[in-house]
Amino acid sequence: MSKKVLCILGPGFEEIETVAPIDLLRRAGAQVVIAALNENKLVTGRSGITVQADATLAELDPNTFDMLFIPGGPGVKNLRSDGRAAQLANVFARNNKPVAAICAAPTVLADAGLLAGKRFTAHFSVLDELPHALLTERVVEDGLIITSRGAGTALEFGLALVRRLFGEPAAQEIARAIMM
């Protein structure tokens, strides 16, 4: 049975942090469903690239997914003001399912209360809110929480997600295939 990953996109998402992990997860065989925060399934990122979401967040049942993936970028403020991403992070964690966030998206995990007592990293721009972020580490895994610093760490982050869902051999094979 294929693993399913829910990826939430709001306007202003960081394109590299979204597309690179989705690509790697799909190479591994995951079904990644891109969910638009709002009713418009065309979501434009911070650099003006528009992505067609598979569904709206309201149309999906989170219980059918194995992992939650929240990309970063300036659009994280939209996810935070909406509140559903933090609620979903709590649901996934309560159900012992991994929650992954990159760049500014760990602030959503902080809103959900999931970072207390955890090791994590994030983008330096949110250090005022997340003073305990480990900025020297590119990808940090602590229990169900997987975090990464930003666009420059998107491939490593994506491979960590593959490793979590499919194991080390799958991550190594994909890393080899993309010449990483």
Is 0.95 topped by the overall pTM? Answer: yes
Query: Can you list the alpha helix ranges (DSSP code H) found in the chain?
Result: 15-28, 76-82, 84-94, 106-111, 154-166, 168-177
Confidence (pLDDT) at 13? 98
Alpha-carbon distance of 94 to 55, in angstroms, equals 24
Cα angle at 143 between 113 and 59, to 5 degrees?
60
Give me the number of domains the chain comprises.
Answer: 1
Give the active site residue among 101, 103, 110, 130: 103
Range of the domain at 97: 4-177
Confidence (pLDDT) at 102? 98
- Do 106 and 130 form a contact (C-beta atoms < 8 A)? yes
Please list, in sequence order, all residues whose beta carbon lies within 8 angstroms of the beta carbon of residue 101, skipping any fewer than 6 positions away. Answer: 69, 70, 72, 89, 108, 109, 122, 145, 146, 147, 148
Confidence (pLDDT) at 156? 98
Is residue 103 annotated as a catalytic residue, yes or no? yes
Residue 22: CATH number of its domain: 3.40.50.880
Note down pLDDT in tens along the chain; length 180 residues.
689 999 999 999 999 999 999 999 999 999 999 999 999 999 999 999 999 999 999 999 999 999 999 999 999 999 999 999 999 999 999 999 999 999 999 999 999 999 999 999 999 999 999 999 999 999 999 999 999 999 999 999 999 999 999 999 999 999 999 999
